[in-house]
């Protein structure tokens, strides 16, 4: 039986697309070259709004059993200035959860795949899509190789490319474009760090942070915490804090994925890292030592996994110029969000894509004009955050500017809270322009 939709890729974007469509009665074929569970390079951070989509997909309770709740971000500037921001409501803008979350990407993928298997979806692992089938100016299927290297020709009225950064779907259509920010992320795990379960208070009268004389710790939650949302678990692990260390041209993100384990992503210029591709651990260790505040934070810690590279980190993808195809998640482009988070973008783009897919199938119209509705919706959903991310990248690329901004945020932490609300996907970027909130 010919499916109505072929989804290429079973990561968060592809799995979410297939789950929503299957629940709406659409027949779906999902193809992925990997066998799950699989390892995937990722910052392993979920914004406070990501649980809303995970709840819709039916996996949030399972995620809660594994994820580490993240109260906010602790950002250290080149001169040691520390600014702490928390995820909280801003007027009518409230997060789905009062915290972000972190968990291993392999765990998240497996939970989504388990949900996928429970639905009437034709899910095939170890099937590698190699090309698209085009007829009369539109995509009508894919060519693939199964685990026995047999060639398959699979047809459907609509193909959703959710096959990640190296998307075959986007490449075959010639849609990928380079981004002016040529950076690479070096990702590993570290163990033996003191737990960041409480934020460090700024030094009285001066925001500078000196590791040799840490100020007293403060409670990570206000005395009068708002009541739990209906979707929030009544009991959970202690809140922890993600940490970002800025030292141009680099920055590093520490994201606690367990009580004794953190994801460490070091973002550096691609040109600096490329010559070291065969000796990533050597380059990583040498570079991390040159971020003095990160180096002090890592004192006594140990690497718990090989260093893996992901780059170029940011890239652009043009909308398809033919009908019968949509691009979801990283297949549709990736911008560097500074927090190490891209999963919400994949989940939200899946939601937007399914709305257009259902409309197109009902109308019997999978033309480029019909499917362009999704491209417009995706642009509207993320354009503001993309512009903000570009501005942040300018700041973190200049030492003096990064110090000035960090000092301002340390003096007025509500500004950072609002900024985190935007980066956390529950406050619109335009809110940053409202004087009342600044």
Going from N- to C-terminal start, the domains of the chain cover: 1-67+103-181+314-397, 69-101+182-313+398-430
Give the residue with greater pLDDT, 340 vs 306: 306
* Architecture, CATH, for domain 69-101+182-313+398-430: 2-Layer Sandwich (3.30)
- Assess whether pLDDT exceeds 50 at residue 105: yes
Query: pTM, whole model, 2 decimals?
Result: 0.89
Tell me, what's the pLDDT at 335? Answer: 84
Cβ atoms of residues 273 and 168 within 8 Å: no
For every residue of the chain, which 3-state class applies, written as one string?
CCCCEEEECCCHHHHHHHHHHHHCCCCEEEECCCCCCCCCCCCCEECCCHHHHHHHHCCHHHHHCCCEEEEEEEEECCCCEEEEEECCCECCECCCCCCEEECCHHHHHHHHHHHHHCCCCEEECCCEEEEEEEECCEEEEEEEECCCCCEEEEECCEEEECCCCCCHHHHHCCCEEECCCCEEEEEEEEECCCCCCCCECCCCCCCECCHHHCCCECCCCCCCCCCCCCCCCCCCCCCEEEEEEEECCEEEEEEEEECCEEEEEEEEEHHHHHHHCCCHHHHHHHHHHCCHHHHHHCCCCEECCCCEEECCCCEEECCCCCECEEECHHHHEECCCCCCCCHHHHHHHHHHHHHHHHHHHHHCCCCHHHHHHHHHHHHHHHHHHHHHHHHHHHHHCCHHHHHHHHHHHHHCHHHHHHHHHHHCCCCCHHHHHCHHHC
Confidence of residue 339 (pLDDT cuts 50, 70, 90): confident
- Specify the pLDDT at position 277: 86
Question: What mean pLDDT comes out for the span 37-49?
Answer: 93
Q: What is the phi/psi pair of residue 436, to 5°?
A: -60, -30
pLDDT of residue 351: 98
The pLDDT assigned to 337 comes to 73
Q: What is the pLDDT of residue 197?
A: 58
Contacts of 417 (CB under 8 A, 6+ apart): 72, 85, 86, 87, 88, 90
Q: Measure the CA–CA gap between 143 and 132, rounded to whole angstroms.
A: 6
d(CA 64, CA 103): 9
pLDDT at 214 over 80: no
Question: Is 434 or 97 the better-scoring residue by pLDDT?
Answer: 97
pLDDT (average), residues 231-248: 79
Average of per-residue pLDDT across 195-219: 39
What is the pLDDT, as a whole number, of residue 1?
A: 81
So what's the pLDDT on residue 233?
Answer: 57
Model confidence at 437, in pLDDT bands (50, 70, 90)? very low
Q: Which are the contacts of 430, defined by CB distance < 8 A and separation ≥ 6?
A: 384
Query: What pLDDT sits at residue 17?
Result: 99
Range among 182-186, 276-280, 321-325 with highest mean pLDDT value? 321-325
Name the band, by pLDDT with cuts 50, 70 and 90, for residue 199: low
pLDDT band at 224, cuts 50/70/90?
A: very low
So what's the pLDDT on residue 314? 86
* Of 265 and 211, more confident: 265
Q: How far apart are CA 47 and CA 34, in angstroms?
A: 26
Please tell me the predicted confidence (pLDDT) of residue 181: 80
How many residues are present in the chain? 438
Which pLDDT belongs to residue 237?
A: 67
- Whether residue 232 is predicted with pLDDT greater than 90 in this model: the reply is no
Q: What is the mean pLDDT of residues 213-235?
A: 40
Per-residue model confidence (pLDDT) at position 271:
92
Whether the pLDDT of residue 215 is over 60: the answer is no
> pLDDT-based confidence at 261, cuts 50/70/90?
very high
- Res 413 pLDDT > 70: yes
Q: Residue 46 pLDDT more than 80?
A: yes
Confidence of residue 312 (pLDDT cuts 50, 70, 90): confident
pLDDT at 198: 52
In this predicted model, which residue has the larger pLDDT, 415 or 323?
A: 323
- Kindly give the pairing relationship between strand 158-161 and strand 5-8: parallel
In this predicted structure, the answer to whether residue 57 has a pLDDT above a threshold of 60 is: yes
Residue 238: the pLDDT is 78
pLDDT of residue 223: 33
Domain 1-67+103-181+314-397: assigned CATH number: 3.50.50.60
pLDDT at 201 over 80: no
CA distances from 401 to 6, 11, 70, 127, 143 (A): 47, 37, 27, 48, 50
Phi-psi region of 92 (alpha: psi -120 to 50; beta: other; left: phi over 0): alpha
Average pLDDT over residues 369-381: 97
236 versus 65: which is more confidently predicted? 65
User: If we measure between CA atoms, which residue out of 9, 58, 2 comes closest to residue 30?
Assistant: 9
Rounded Cα distance between 399 and 408, Å, is 14
Q: How far apart are CA 400 and CA 403, in angstroms?
A: 5
> 289-305, pLDDT tens digit by residue?
999 999 999 998 999 99
**What's the pLDDT band for 87 if we cut at 50, 70, 90?**
very high
User: Can you give the pLDDT at residue 231?
Assistant: 52
Q: Do the beta carbons of residue 381 and residue 353 sit within 8 Å?
A: no
Please answer whether residues 71 and 241 qualify as being in contact, where contact means their C-beta atoms are separated by less than 8 angstroms: yes
The neighbour count for residue 142, using CB atoms within 10 Å, is 26
| pLDDT for residue 235 | 57
Evaluate if residue 160 carries a pLDDT over 80.
yes
Mean pLDDT rounded to a whole number for the chain: 89
């Amino acid at each position: 039986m010919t499916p109505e939709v072929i989804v290429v890729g079973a990561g968060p974007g592809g799995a979410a697309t297939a789950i929503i469509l299957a629940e709406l009665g659409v027949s779906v074929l999902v193809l992925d070259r990997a066998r799950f569970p699989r390892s995937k390079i990722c910052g392993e951070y979920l914004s406070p709004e990501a649980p809303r989509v995970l709840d819709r997909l039916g996996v949030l309770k399972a995620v809660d059993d594994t994820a580490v709740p993240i109260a906010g971000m602790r950002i250290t500037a080149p001169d040691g200035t520390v600014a702490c921001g928390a995820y909280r409501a801003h007027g009518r803008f409230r997060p789905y959860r009062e915290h972000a979350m972190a968990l291993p990407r392999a765990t998240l993928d497996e939970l989504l795949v388990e949900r996928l298997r429970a639905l009437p979806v034709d899910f095939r692992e170890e099937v590698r899509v190699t090309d698209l089938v085009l007829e009369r100016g539109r995509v009508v299927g894919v060519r693939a190789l199964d685990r026995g290297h047999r060639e398959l020709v699979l047809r459907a009225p609509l193909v959703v490319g959710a096959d990640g950064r190296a998307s075959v779907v986007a490449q075959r259509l010639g849609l990928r474009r380079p981004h002016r920010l040529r950076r690479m992320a070096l990702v590993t795990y570290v163990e033996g760090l003191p737990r960041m379960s409480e934020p460090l208070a700024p030094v009285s009268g001066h925001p500078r942070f000196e590791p040799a004389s840490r100020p007293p710790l403060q409670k990570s939650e206000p005395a009068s915490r708002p009541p739990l949302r209906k979707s929030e678990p009544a009991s959970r692990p202690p809140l922890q804090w993600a940490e970002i260390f800025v030292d141009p041209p680099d920055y590093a993100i520490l994201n606690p994925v367990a009580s004794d384990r953190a994801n460490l992503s070091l973002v550096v210029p691609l040109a600096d890292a490329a010559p070291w591709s065969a000796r990533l651990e050597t380059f990583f260790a040498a570079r991390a030592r040159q971020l003095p505040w990160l180096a002090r934070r890592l004192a006594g810690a140990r690497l718990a996994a090989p260093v893996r590279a992901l780059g170029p980190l940011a890239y652009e993808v043009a909308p398809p110029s033919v009908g019968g195809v949509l691009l979801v998640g990283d297949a549709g482009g990736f911008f560097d969000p500074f927090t190490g988070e891209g999963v919400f973008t994949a989940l939200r783009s899946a939601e937007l894509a399914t709305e257009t897919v259902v409309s197109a199938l009902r109308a019997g119209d999978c033309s480029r004009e019909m499917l362009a509705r999704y491209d417009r919706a995706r642009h509207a959903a993320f354009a503001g955050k993309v512009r903000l991310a570009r501005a942040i990248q300018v700041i973190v690329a200049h030492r003096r500017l990064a110090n000035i901004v960090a000092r301002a945020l340390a003096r007025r932490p509500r500004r950072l809270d609002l900024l985190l609300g935007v980066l956390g996907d529950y406050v619109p970027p335009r809110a940053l322009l409202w004087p009342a909130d600044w």
